[in-house]
Chains A and B, each alone.
Chain A
Amino acid sequence: MMNKLILGRYIPGDSFIHTLDPRAKLIASFYFIGIIFLANNWQTYVVLAAFTFFAIFLSKVNLGFFIRGVRPLLWLILFTVALQVLFTRGGATYFEWGIFSITEFGVINGLFIFCRFVLIIFMSTLLTLTTPPLDLSDAIEYLLRPLKAVRFPVHEISLMLSIALRFVPTLMDETEKIMNAQRARGVDFGEGNLIQKMKAVVPLLIPLFVSSFNRAEDLATAMEARGYQGGEGRTKYRVLEWHLKDSFVMIAFTLMTVLLVYLRA
């Protein structure tokens, strides 16, 4: 189950991208999603694609991982592209049938949307492949810090996030164990029609919920025994350091924005 999922996986390494500050990477990824909407002609898309592939090259991660990251969303992408191609009118018409038509503008729009999707997925996969989940949650906590002013529980949210991340593999293991235990008792997972399939999940879900409750209770007791009293007066073991190269990344993104604004039609 876990092996197919590329989204949210981390590939250890020590490349330029790996050693960037997670805050820089997180800001850059969101910023990239923002500026991708500036692109509206082939020059701008070439610039963005070149930039993305250069970042992938810097990360030293195999391109295959990125392509596999796109795969689960492929149907969504194709569906959106197909809608664009079939329903956009304008320019030379190549084919017409009832409400459907394939036109010059439609094909170009479809291509642009395809590029947009792929580039966004590549960039966000690059973020998760090169950043350990824990660093990401540290970065999120840091970036949410201003929200403390409006009484947003930043410490609690980030603690929840890091505990959740820590328990993902543990719960995955447990799910596997319960599934096998139930299979040994004759439960068929993934067999039969929709209702039968849903019924088969019950003997998996209920034990999983119950054990999560027990885990939560044990964990809370252990945390309290180790002096956890909430976010007040706590120091931090992990620190994030902003280096010169993180600033360079920010400058590179600014320059690219300027270039895109200049090139766009």
Chain B
Amino acid sequence: MKPIIELNNIHFNYQPEDASPALNNVSFSINQGEWVAIIGHNGSGKSTLAKTINGLLLPAAGSIAVGGKELNSENVWDIRRMVGMVFQNPDNQFVGSTVEDDVAFGLENQGIPREEMLVRVKDALEKVRMDSFATREPARLSGGQKQRVAIAGVVALRPEIIILDEATSMLDPEGREEVIATIKKIKEESNLTVISITHDIDEAANANRILVMKEGQLVNEGTPEKIFSAGSELIEMGLDLPFPERLKVALKQRGISVPKEYLTEERMVDWLWTSVLKK
């Protein structure tokens, strides 16, 4: 496994006179094909971090390397080609007047010939199951559909890395599940690296690794099992409790002793029926 993203001691400040920096001495690396979730409270620097990775924000100190190349003002556009981003508000990132125009927008920017654009747009829309909506206007789509179009727009560019900057936070539970499933499928098909910035527990549970941000610093990292075993501290980290954890808390309150480590839903079921049998 080779690291595709490396951050070294990143510092960032929106205004030089700000007392506490938005990012303070952040270092981590992400391997190719990994799914990493970044969690943390509002204002913990998650979105700022995401924007530094593709050069939308330039750090005050520290270095960023994407795909082995160090990010600087000359190669920022090459690096943006490698990194696709999906943002929070489905309405505000819809540039095109119709679905297909929006998917084509990124391709037009790269000067891709029209014949290839037609193939890629169709292909990307099929991947997110929006091909029957190709000529629709954004005003006639739901939030989840718009977000899937935004993903198609990124997929059509064939990036190596996709960053989801709270891409599901304005969606209903159904739209959220749809979007996560779409990303999961595309990731498996094309060995993408996914960085998802999220408050959503299911999205974080899909990750190989979770990074926890607090006040501009990276305070914790580990597998979802390790992070979720923190129990009620998760709420302080800016996440909800996963359902098995909530069940454990409720059982504890009723005087039942529960295992300390994190259990997935299946393992929770296993534990429940074996413990009932033991009695």
Contacts and interface: CB of A to CB of B under 8 A. Distances in A.
A134 B105 CA distance: 14
Interface in A227-241: 227-229, 233-239
B111 A234 contact: yes
Contacts of B138: 166, 169-170
A169 B108 contact: no
B240 to A, nearest CB: 26
Nearest to A170: B91
Nearest to B113: A235
B80 interface: yes
B93 interface: yes
A215 interface: yes
Contacts of B108: 234-237
Interface in A144-202: 162-163, 165-166, 169-170, 173
A219 B101 CA distance: 15
Nearest to B91: A170
B101 A134 contact: yes
A78 interface: no
Contacts of A134: 97-98, 101
A4 interface: no
Question: What size tier do the contact residues of chain A reach?
Answer: 20 to 34
B117 A166 contact: no
B28 interface: no
B217 interface: no
A226 B153 contact: yes
A209 to B, nearest CB: 15
Nearest to A237: B104
B157 interface: yes
A225 B157 CA distance: 11
Contact of B106 (A162, A219, A226, A238): A226
Contact of B114 (A173, A214, A215, A239): A239
B112 interface: yes
Contacts of A221: 51, 56, 87
Given A170-B139, A215-B92, A225 B56 contact: yes
B97 A237 contact: no
Interface string B93-127: 11111101100111111111110011001000000
B45 to A, nearest CB: 17
Contacts of A226: 80, 84-85, 95, 105-106, 109, 153-154, 157
Contact of B121 (A133, A169, A237): A237
A14 interface: no
B114 A237 contact: yes
A165 B94 CA distance: 12
B109 A173 contact: no
Contacts of A165: 97
Contact of A222 (B93, B113, B121): B93
Contacts of A133: 97
Contacts of A163: 95
Contacts of B84: 225-226
B100 A237 contact: yes
A223 interface: yes
B95 A236 contact: no
A211 to B, nearest CB: 10
A165 B265 CA distance: 48
B22 to A, nearest CB: 16
B101 A173 contact: no
A235 B114 contact: yes
B177 interface: no
Given A162-B97, A166-B96, A166-B138, A227 B77 contact: yes
Contacts of B92: 214-215, 218-219, 222
Contacts of A222: 85, 87, 92-93, 95
Contacts of B51: 221
B137 interface: yes
A90 to B, nearest CB: 52
B145 interface: no
B117 A227 contact: no
A173 B143 CA distance: 14
A235 B121 CA distance: 14
B107 A237 contact: yes
B89 interface: yes
B87 A218 contact: yes
24 contacts: A163-B95, A165-B97, A166-B94, A166-B137, A169-B139, A170-B139, A219-B95, A221-B51, A222-B85, A222-B87, A225-B87, A226-B80, A226-B85, A228-B105, A233-B111, A234-B109, A234-B111, A235-B107, A235-B111, A236-B114, A237-B104, A237-B118, A237-B121, A238-B101
Given A226-B109, A234-B109, 18 more contacts: A133-B97, A162-B97, A163-B95, A169-B138, A218-B93, A219-B93, A221-B51, A221-B87, A222-B87, A225-B54, A226-B84, A226-B106, A227-B106, A234-B111, A236-B108, A237-B105, A237-B108, A237-B117
